[in-house]
Chain A
């Protein structure tokens, strides 16, 4: 499959990126890892006249904790996160998610920034990041703004990013004491998108849930928060009974549609089961953490 013609631009600074975006506000597209965009271009579902490659802009591959947050730069690759001991130890839910994005070869190029900015409800990071309360930093010559991920994700393949803006960083709040996270994905085969997947984060006061975050993958027009299930869990102890109820509520929060990956009822049932598994795993991690 051959994409339509375009002009390739490889600026070496953010100023150069903005210049390119400003010169072609309606038909320029940012290229990060390209593992979602290039397939879209090959199918001619996307036909940007200009591709602005971020790869030669220095300083965008940050992966560190700073001012109370994990900072993931726009060009940090999935494989960087997969190998990072910081991610493995402190952000196990993100590590779960990054390890099941497509396959190892795709992860050598794919970026977390692109995973969010693509706006695909089937992508793995948005749900986990919603559960973790992540924020997105967008920058343009007009300035820098920070959005909650829930506001950044607008609809299928649509984000709040303006044509002159670039996603620069993702900020994830640092884990608090007695908290844990997990991402559980159900897929037909390695490399496929999720039939459904659930990201969960729990923080405890002793045995009582103090905070709960639950994000759902590929069961709606965008990644969703299971808000009823989150609200239900706060103040409760995690028993078989409360887990089952949280699963039931998360399944009700889901908005799946029938497709080749299964009918609506099946996907809701999956959400129920995966929510229970993700919560259980997040709780185990919270209790085993010595922090």
Chain B
């Protein structure tokens, strides 16, 4: 007994007939074949499965895919644009924000959504924001630095277009 669901995943429309009991994380990994979203604890603790639903970071192991009819979902695969790393990806790269990398997709989806509302966060705010995402390798120090890096880059990028707007793009 299946139910139909149609949603947007990283800008692409995805439709499927699914069992209502199918968890969103399984839908993403096994129906849409996007395996960047990880399954860690499977008990709403670790945050490895974090995706953004209509912009809101959410643990996809504790939602049913059938609830997502009409939703706009973004996973780690949706961060990079035209071969360019997003500021948060660049931050994790530059600041060595990962060791084994298992928590990284969830960490980035949480941090990226957080920075949208907090363009200039304090360290304490960052640590609170990622408190639902567990990392067993880094001790969080470089993850915090990665988020700070992304915040800085995003602020710079938002300040920059005013200066470059008058410059003709090279052909």
Contacts and interface: CB of A to CB of B under 8 A. Distances in A.
The answer on A and B forming one complex is yes
A105 B63 contact: no
A1 B57 contact: no
Contacts of A39: 43-44, 62
A247 B23 CA distance: 45
A38 B64 contact: yes
A123 B50 CA distance: 23
B42 A1 contact: yes
Which residue, B21, B63, B110, B133, has most C-beta atoms of chain A within 10 A? B21
Interface string B1-19: 1010000000000000001
Interface residues of A, number: 28
Most buried by A among B59, B69, B129, B133: B59
A138 interface: no
| Chain A binding surface SS class | loop
B44 A2 contact: no
A106 interface: yes
B103 interface: no
A36 to B, nearest CB: 9
A105 B129 CA distance: 9
Interface of A: 1-8, 10, 31, 34-35, 38-39, 41-42, 51, 53, 55, 102-106, 108-109, 190-191
13 contacts: A1-B42, A3-B21, A4-B21, A7-B3, A34-B64, A34-B67, A35-B44, A39-B43, A39-B62, A41-B21, A51-B64, A104-B57, A190-B131
Interface of B: 1, 3, 19-21, 23, 42-45, 47, 50, 56-59, 62-64, 66-67, 69, 110, 128-129, 131-133
